[in-house]
Homo-oligomer: A and B are copies of this chain.
Amino acid sequence: MTIPPDPKRVLIFDTTLRDGEQSPGISLNTAEKLEIAQQLSRLGVDVIEAGFPITSRGDFEAVQEIARNVEGPIVTGLARTHAEDIDAAYQAVRDAERPRIHTFVSTSDIHITHQLQTTREDVEGQARAAVAHARGYLDDVEFSPMDATRADVEFTARVCRIAIEEGATTVNIPDTVGYTMPHEYAAYLRRLYELVPELRDVVLSVHCHDDLGLAVANSFAGVLAGARQVECAVNGIGERAGNASLEEIAMLLHTRQPDVGLHTGIVTTEIARTSRLVSRLTGYPVQPNKAVVGRNAFAHESGIHQDGVLKERTTYEIMDARTVGLEANAIVLGKHSGRHALQQALEDLGFPVSGQALNQAFRRFKEIADRKKQVTAMDLEALVTDELRDDLGAYSLEWFDVEASSRRPPHATVGITTPDGEERTGSFTGDGPVDAIFRAINAAAEADARLREFRVDAVTGGQDALGEVSVVTETGGWTASGQGVSTDILEAAGRAYVRALSTARRRARLDAERAEAQLAQAP
């Protein structure tokens, strides 16, 4: 990969599945990651960072599945400078149409001294060896000097020059801790260009975090300074306050294209749906006032604004909601809709299903259609992603009974199936009906999980809306999340809780693997 032929084209590098998945409480399984990657391909991103293959067998497998199955974007995996990291990244991405290896090492003294506990000279050597090793496998190699914005720009320039000498085709300058300011970041990049003129022969990339609310503005300042790749995540998820929001940077370049003259390959009408999918699978809500994808981003409340919009839309709107794919979902099914109509609707939504998967989806669809008059595209999305979550080796909730009242403590009885296929029941009294169900599930599963976070969202509007419950549990110091969808909040809560138990079980296995890979040990 060299500079794209069109100098006005900004590449969108999506790190939802790598930096985004590093957010606390998020643990996506392979099926979920693949589903998000397929949607990112429909969205038109240029690069998918699918994971960090060395960190666990689960991470490795997910990157490999995405590399093998997702068409369109470049697929990359992250690697420290260690040879075994790069070997793992290569093995994971090698089957992609267009594979990339992304390797990084810190150039800030604070990281070099305290975390890596090494010297600048050693960092130079690590960068040289890593890029050379990666280029031995692939022509497309990205290099990132981590924490560059807090590093000496001259030293960072030296390391970038080495990476380019060894064949790096993209050089990414991360604001790892979200510390920089737009004018400062632009000046830093301009200085790098002065110190390393050969940066003009590769793609310069930006990677900004939102700790001070400036991730999008810093990324944009970088683009105006010459960067042609932006690393970002859907809904702005990621470590701490997250990465630059993909949808904000894309709509900024789109809306201000007449003035700025740059464009991306993003299919803007897929933005809303991508946002919903990522929110649903990660359990991370989008606040109503979030730019572009918040439910009120296009709503007008004050009399003056409503009056203006009625007279002329552009008085208070700079974007049309339809541009980001809101109000575009015309599909509506009902209880009399057949298996074929469901299959067609799911295909229109980008979920080709048949055979056993279709049978199972149809069974869930009928259950919901019996309770809801109209099943919309958003309901179907929720149901399909809900079904995706059931995988092997998981607990499942078979039935429950709850009595709740303001006049006596609530009581719940549940029946579950364990990962080994065993059927068990449990009963408990709780502080509330949800608490009672969770304790009853704990009793049935002989688990000691504790609830840390609990969230319910209506998937669609209306009295008969599907509700989605997201929970974060803690078991032995590890957090795990689970989601469940139903018109019945207690059923959704129960489904979410057993999934969190299943995730916790999976995480415990990953943890053991990661310990084996000795991730935390500095080189």
Q: Which residues of A contact B (CB under 8 A)?
A: 22-26, 52, 55, 80, 110-111, 114-115, 147, 176-179, 181-184, 210-214, 216-218, 220-221, 224, 235-242, 245, 248-249, 251-252, 255-256, 259-260, 284-292, 294-308, 311-312, 314-319, 371-372, 399-407, 410, 431-435, 438-439, 450-458, 461-465, 467, 486-491, 514, 519-520, 522
Contact assessment for A212 and B114 in the assembled complex, using a CB-CB cutoff below 8 Å: no
With A284-B289, A286-B287, A405-B401 as contacts: A212 and B248 at CB distance below 8 Å: yes
A39 to chain B, nearest CB (A): 19
Contact assessment for B431 and A371 in the assembled complex, using a CB-CB cutoff below 8 Å: yes
Closest B residue, CB atoms, query A221: B182
Q: A520: which of B23, B214, B307 is its contact (CB, 8 Å)?
A: B307
How far does the alpha carbon of A522 sit from the alpha carbon of B260 in the complex, in Å?
A: 35
Closest B residue, CB atoms, query A522: B307
Q: A308: which of B115, B184, B259, B292 is its contact (CB, 8 Å)?
A: B115
How far does the alpha carbon of A241 sit from the alpha carbon of B311 in the complex, in Å?
A: 21
Count of this chain's copies in the oligomeric assembly: 2
Q: A24: which of B301, B464, B514 is its contact (CB, 8 Å)?
A: B301
Contact assessment for B115 and A248 in the assembled complex, using a CB-CB cutoff below 8 Å: no
Q: Which of A285, A302, A486 has the most CB of B within 10 A?
A: A302
With A240-B297, A488-B404 as contacts: A213 and B212 at CB distance below 8 Å: no
A491 to chain B, nearest CB (A): 6
A294 to chain B, nearest CB (A): 6
Given contacts A213-B216, A454-B465, 19 further A-B contacts (CB under 8 A): A23-B288, A24-B301, A115-B304, A147-B315, A181-B260, A212-B252, A212-B256, A213-B249, A238-B289, A239-B302, A286-B287, A402-B402, A403-B403, A404-B490, A432-B490, A433-B433, A439-B463, A451-B461, A456-B456
How far does the alpha carbon of A107 sit from the alpha carbon of B448 in the complex, in Å?
A: 63
Contact assessment for B248 and A213 in the assembled complex, using a CB-CB cutoff below 8 Å: yes
How far does the alpha carbon of A245 sit from the alpha carbon of B290 in the complex, in Å?
A: 11
Contact assessment for A115 and B287 in the assembled complex, using a CB-CB cutoff below 8 Å: no
Contacts of A256 in B (CB 8 A): 179, 181, 212
Contacts of A292 in B (CB 8 A): 211-213, 241
Contact assessment for B23 and A301 in the assembled complex, using a CB-CB cutoff below 8 Å: yes
A94 to chain B, nearest CB (A): 24
Contact assessment for B454 and A467 in the assembled complex, using a CB-CB cutoff below 8 Å: yes
How far does the alpha carbon of A256 sit from the alpha carbon of B78 in the complex, in Å?
A: 31
Contact assessment for A451 and B465 in the assembled complex, using a CB-CB cutoff below 8 Å: yes
With A401-B405, A453-B458, A514-B303 as contacts: A241 and B314 at CB distance below 8 Å: no
